[in-house]
Homo-oligomer: A and B are copies of this chain.
């Protein structure tokens, strides 16, 4: 980051210097101040976009780190609860989850209740949101 700022400042200084040189060498100072400004504006707009992309790329990288799946244990979520959470995220009903995990509907409901408490969610749709924010789900 410091490198970027330094590079940035250097480019700016160089550009100013370059313009100065052109200015004093060819004496076109009065002819096209607008041209200069337009040039600088266009150049730095592009540079800004580039920087913006770089910044978002870093965010994507950090997002990918989160995408490498945070461990549910870090949020007091047990393995079984996490299984249920994943199935909820896939849009399954409690009954379908129960069938898929070979347990009773009541068991699934217990797990979901605990999940909602631990994720601070009131609904399963909210739980999905929370889980994704926490990097627990893709």
Contacts and interface: CB of A to CB of B under 8 A. Distances in A.
Interface of A: 12, 15-16, 19-20, 23, 29, 33-34, 36-38, 40-53, 55-57, 60, 88-93, 121-130
A61 to B, nearest CB: 12
A75 to B, nearest CB: 17
B48 A44 contact: yes
B45 A93 contact: no
Nearest to A127: B91
B12 A33 contact: no
Give the dominant DSSP class at A's interface. helix
A72 to B, nearest CB: 19
Given A47-B48, A92-B126, 14 more contacts: A12-B37, A16-B37, A16-B38, A19-B33, A19-B37, A20-B33, A37-B37, A48-B51, A49-B51, A51-B52, A52-B55, A60-B60, A90-B129, A125-B128
A13 to B, nearest CB: 9
B40 A49 contact: no
A93 to B, nearest CB: 6
A48 B21 CA distance: 27
Contacts of A46: 48
